[in-house]
Structure formats: C-alpha cells, structure tokens
Amino acid sequence: MKIIVGGAGSVGRSIIAYLSRADNDIVVLDINQERLDEISKEFDVQTVLGSVSRPDIQESIGAQNADILIAATDNDEVNLVACQVAYTLFGVKKKIARIDSEYFLSPLWNTLYNEKSLPVDLVISPDESIAKNIMDIVSIKGAREVYPFENGKIVMVGFKCNQECGLYQFKISELYENFRDLEFSIAHILRDGVHFYPKDDEMLHASDMLYVLTYQANVSKILKAFNIAQPVYENVVIFGSDAMAFDVARFMEENDDVLSLKIVTNQLDAAHKMSEYLNKAVVIYGEMMSDVILSDAHLERADLTISVTPQDKDNLLLSLLAKSSGVNTTLSLVNSQMYDNLTGRISDNIIIDRSTITISKILQDIRHVNLINAYSLGRGFSEVWELKLKIDTLLEGKKISELNLPEKCKVLAVLRQGKLIFDIENMPLELGDVLFMIVPPNTIKRVETIFNI
C-alpha cells in the first residue's frame, strides 16, 4: 500500500514505526526538516519537506496513487484540510485525521465528518486514547495491559506471573481443567523477550507475561487464582500537565479509592488551568525531579505514579525515582523505543506505548477484513482481532481446523449469541459469529485472504 503520513512528531512517528514493518510504500511530510532527518535515519521511508494540507505538495508526491492519507500533525485544522484536499483533488479512498481539540471531538459535531462536509473516514485522538488506556489499567488492578471488547464485557489482560504465583509450574491444560469455571484462554506468552502462542502441554515459568482472554467479570478471580496482587491506589501522583494528564486526573478524582491526588508540572500556565478545573487534586508547580518538589508531592507515600510528560527520558527517570522511593506501581508513557535499555532497568514498571495505542485506533480501518476491534499487543509483537464473519462469506459451516490458518495465527474463542466459546477447533462456523484471534504481523495478508472469501 502507498500511505501518506502528514506530521513527523511523536504521533506521526509512532504510526510510521508500526506501518514501516510491513511492505508499505510510506511518504512522510512535515514542515520541520530536523524531524524528517530523524525519521529518515530510523525508517526506510520517503521524506518530503512541506505541509500535508497543500495541494501542490500532495500532487508532487503522487497522492492520486495513495491508498491512505493519515494527517497526524499537531494542528487540527491542517489535518482536516489535508483530508479535504486528498479527497476532492486526488480521490484518496481512506482519509484519517488526528484531532485533539475538544470542540472538534464533541459528539455535537459528528455530522461534520462525511463526504459532503469534511471527508474524514476516521478521527483519531491519541492523547484521549492513551488516557483511556491508563484508566483501563488502573481500573483492573494487577493488570499491566488491558484490551477491551464488546463495550468492556470481554477483555484481554496482560499480567506477570511472579514467584508468588504458585501456578507457574503447571501446564496450560492443567490450568484449564482446574479453573474451568473461570472461562478463559491464555492467548499469548512473553518469556525472556520471546513471544509465542502456548500449546496445551506448555508449562508456565516464573516471570512469564501472560495475555488472557476472558469475561471482564472473571478478571479479578483469575488474577486471584494466579496470586497476582490487586493493590488499592489511595495515594496517586501524576507527572505531566497536558490534556492526557488532565483526563487521567479527572478520572482519578471520580475514583472513590483515591484519597490523595497530586499533580506535578513544570508548566506554569498548565498548573493554573488544572488548579482551576480540578476539584480535589493538589497541583504542584516546579522542576519535577527536584528533591524539594518530590518531597512536597510526598512521593514516598504514593501507591501509584503516572508519568505522562512529553519526554520519554523524563517519564522513565521519574518512574525510577518513584521505585527507589518505595512506590509499588509506576506507569511511564513512552513515545519511542530509543530508551528500551532504560525501560528494562526499572523493575515492574508498566510501559504505556504511544505507538501501539495510536496504531490500534487505525488497524480496524486499514485491515481488509470485517473487524469490530483490533489492537496492537505489547509493543507491536502481534495483533488481536475481533472479527465478524461477513454476511456473504463462504466460510459458513467450515471448522476452525479447516481454515488453513498460518501456524502462528490462532483463533482464541468464538462469540456466539453473547456467549464465549473456547472449545472451537471442530465447531462449524455460523453467520454472525465473532472470532477473537491472535495475528502476527507476517501472517496478516494470508489471514485477510482467508476471511475475504
């Protein structure tokens, strides 16, 4: 596919990082040459200096041959104009716009986004999505990653099997037998940096990262069965001051468990604004890594810290300081994988990866199958699809075992008439079935072909 990406900032870069892994022809536009130079050093893409909203620039890069335009600059108006130009002048079929401003995101104006008004096929708001992801993780205590389906009734959760687990020497088949009433499927395992789908005779190891698909109502019981600590977050400290930090702070203010909420920022205007609009939070202005400021925030008393500043290094160092002060749970927003060596040095720090969250909002629109939801797992090692069979599919009546899926691709469960079914290998498919699948990047085209017949 030929894909045009407008904007080489943190959002654009996260999109480029994911899409460049596949066989895509990517052109990146930005008005900042330094950003383009950084992108070209890291990724095999074409970079062009100029605004994505300009007709002459789009023409010069062959927009008429583009399959997708993703306008991801930090200017909403530029992104909207870029989509209009791409549609009106060059007939680009798929237009995706990053929108951050609340007045453009308001449900009151949703009728704007259509071919007769503003031809935007998909609106993405990365900061809003990241804030929602943080809220999901905080809500399911003990989880390190959360991927909701069916309006949150079904979830995939990632959690770490530690030495206290007690089940890490069990086989997968034994877990299913002993905890049959919990209705779950172990979808994936991360072990010593290697990702794989476990067979039934696979034995769990201590420090395994498990990805489990189940009903949301069963999550707490499953975590309890694995002896995963489910802490209560009474004292919370947030580092950062942008819209994402503000959204998370408002969520924390509504959480009855939270007794003390402090926000630390080095932006004076943001500090004044947050003080004005937040009801319970104490906003602290100053250098975030200053001993005095951290003392004022009572970091040593915190149960949870959330670091969502624009700088990866600051977020990771703040989590490191929090860990050294005795904070049990830390979350760090990461925009790039440049600091992976530092990431691994912070024990049990939860990483919020901008790229995987941002691209997850786009996957449903760029995959050539009938997806209800799609997520990039972990830091992009695989995708999880919620796929509904097409009405005119020729797969009706076929068994899962007869689909000839690639070896590392796995159907985890089928949702039929509101019920998850896990014993599915020899079950004939029916119209209306929804499949939950693990799809590694190198199998995507093959899987798209199978489910498009």
Looking at the structure, tell me whether residues 103 and 64 fall in a common domain. Answer: yes
pLDDT tens-digit profile of 188-211? 999 988 889 898 899 998 889 999
CA–centroid distance for 32 within its chain: 27
- 209: enclosing H helix or E strand: strand 208-215
* Predicted local confidence at residue 453, as pLDDT: 67
pLDDT tens-digit profile of 282-294? 999 999 999 999 9
> Are 299 and 327 in contact, with CB atoms under 8 Å apart?
yes
- Domain-located, residue 54: yes
- Domain-located, residue 131: no
Q: Which of 132, 303, 139, 330 is nearest to 220 (CA)?
A: 139
Looking at the structure, tell me whether residues 159 and 253 fall in a common domain. Answer: no
- Domain-located, residue 134: no
Where among 173, 191, 225 does a domain terminate?
225
Looking at the structure, tell me whether residues 25 and 72 fall in a common domain. Answer: yes
pTM metric for this prediction:
0.88
Looking at the structure, tell me whether residues 8 and 120 fall in a common domain. Answer: yes
Looking at the structure, tell me whether residues 196 and 221 fall in a common domain. Answer: yes
Dihedral angle over CA of 129, 131, 132, 137, nearest 10:
130
Looking at the structure, tell me whether residues 436 and 395 fall in a common domain. Answer: yes
Pairing of strands 46-49, 25-30: parallel
CATH code assigned at 86: 3.40.50.720
Outline where 336-387 has alpha helix (H).
Answer: 340-343, 354-366
Q: How many domains does the chain have?
A: 4
CATH code assigned at 157: 3.30.70.1450
State yes or no: pLDDT of 33 exceeds 80.
yes
Question: Strand 382-388's sheet: what is its strand order?
Answer: 371-377, 382-388, 434-439, 410-416, 419-421
Looking at the structure, tell me whether residues 40 and 66 fall in a common domain. Answer: yes
Looking at the structure, tell me whether residues 278 and 343 fall in a common domain. Answer: yes
> Are 228 and 159 in contact, with CB atoms under 8 Å apart?
yes
Where among 169, 197, 225 does a domain terminate?
225
- Domain-located, residue 359: no
pLDDT tens-digit profile of 312-342? 899 999 999 999 999 999 999 987 666 565 6
> Are 435 and 414 in contact, with CB atoms under 8 Å apart?
yes
> Are 365 and 449 in contact, with CB atoms under 8 Å apart?
no
- Domain-located, residue 135: no
Looking at the structure, tell me whether residues 442 and 386 fall in a common domain. Answer: yes
- Domain-located, residue 130: no
> In this prediction, what percent of the chain has a pLDDT beyond 70?
94
Q: Phi, psi at residue 15, to the nearest 5°?
A: -70, -45
- Domain-located, residue 355: no
Looking at the structure, tell me whether residues 219 and 292 fall in a common domain. Answer: no
Q: Can you give 284-336 as a three-state secondary structure string?
A: EECCCCCHHHHHHCCHHHCCEEEECCCCHHHHHHHHHHHHHCCCCEEEEEECC
Which structural domain, as residue segments, surrounds residue 404? Answer: 365-450
Would you state the structure tokens that stand for residue 423, as one six-digit string? 């014993």
- Domain-located, residue 356: no
